[in-house]
């Protein structure tokens, strides 16, 4: 079973064309176009690369280069409730590494949890360094995170959306 996020539209080349048309006239449009596509569809499919290249009058290699440089940009659909744990120093100082291990253990015990959250996508700093360890669940920031609190938040979001 593949769970898809309800927050994003299904990929449509026609819709993507409409979304990026006004942006393509901005100065330096490539990253803006990629971000706009991802905001709407949740990821940047290969067809979008071709479309952005044509619309912005740059090579596909240029677009591919930008797409692969930035950690935010993804080429596959995101999980329904992404979980991101901060991997940076302030969170390490209060058990960030241990939290990551505990979270991974929970995900390996509960495959449904792993599938819903994508496991863990690390992030370097969420700006919540005084209330570390920090994490985001489905985009919402959590302070003083624990593996139990993460799981409970994920399950409550899944319960709301199913």
Partner 1 sequence: MTVWFVPRDSAARSVGADEVAAALTAQGHSVVRTGSRGMLWMEPLVECLDDDGARIGWRNVRTADVTADGVNASFVGVVEDLDFLARQDRWIFQRVGITDPVDPEDYLAHGGMAGLRTALAMSPAEVVETVVESGLRGRGGAGFPAGIKWRTVAQTPARAHTGDPANAPVHKYICINADEGDSGTFADRMVMEGDPFELLEGMAIAAYAVGADRGIVYLRSEYPDAIATLNQAIEVARANGWLGTAILGSELAFDVEVRVGAGSYVCGEETAMLESIEGRRGMVRVKPPLPAIEGLFGTPTVINNVLTMASVPSILARGAAAYAALGTEKSQGTQVFQLAGNIAQGGIVECAFGISARELVFDFGAGTRSGRPVRAVQIGGPLGAYLPADKLDVAMGYETLAEAGGMIGHGGLVVFDDTVDMAAQARFAMEFCAEESCGKCTPCRIGSVRGVEVIDRIRQGEDAEANGELLRDLCEVMTDGSLCAMGGLTPMPVLSALDNFPEDFAPSTGRG
Q: Residues interacting with partner 1, by CB under 8 A?
A: 27-32, 34-35, 62, 65-66, 69-73, 86, 88-94, 123-132, 134, 139, 141-144
Taking the least distance from each CB to partner 1, the nearer of 80 and 133 is: 133
Taking the least distance from each CB to partner 1, the nearer of 27 and 111 is: 27
Taking the least distance from each CB to partner 1, the nearer of 24 and 110 is: 24
Taking the least distance from each CB to partner 1, the nearer of 97 and 108 is: 97
Please report how close the Cβ of residue 9 comes to partner 1 at its closest, in angstroms.
20
Please report how close the Cβ of residue 60 comes to partner 1 at its closest, in angstroms.
15
For residue 106, give the nearest of 92, 94, 123, 119 by alpha carbon. Answer: 119
| Cα-based distances in Å from 87 to 116, 125, 159 | 21, 7, 28
Give the C-alpha separation, 37 to 18, whole Å: 10
Give the C-alpha separation, 68 to 74, whole Å: 8
Please report how close the Cβ of residue 126 comes to partner 1 at its closest, in angstroms.
5
Evaluate the omega torsion of the peptide bond into residue 133 and state whether it is cis, within 30 degrees of 0: yes
Give the C-alpha separation, 141 to 155, whole Å: 16
């Amino acid at each position: 079973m593949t769970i898809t996020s309800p927050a994003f539209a299904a990929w449509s080349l026609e819709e993507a064309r409409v979304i990026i048309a006004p942006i393509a006239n901005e100065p330096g449009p490539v990253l803006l176009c990629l971000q706009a596509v991802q905001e709407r569809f949740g990821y940047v499919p290969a067809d979008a690369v071709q479309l952005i290249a044509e619309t912005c009058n740059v090579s596909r290699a240029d677009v591919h280069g930008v797409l692969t440089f930035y950690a935010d940009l993804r080429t596959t659909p995101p999980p329904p409730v992404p979980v991101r744990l901060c991997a940076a120093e302030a969170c390490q100082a209060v058990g960030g590494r241990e939290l990551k291990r505990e979270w991974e253990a929970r995900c390996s015990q509960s495959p449904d949890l792993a599938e819903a959250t994508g496991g863990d996508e690390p992030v370097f700093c969420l700006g919540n360094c005084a209330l570390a360890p920090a994490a985001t669940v489905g985009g919402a920031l959590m302070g003083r995170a624990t593996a139990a609190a993460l799981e409970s938040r994920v399950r409550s979001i899944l319960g709301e959306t199913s």
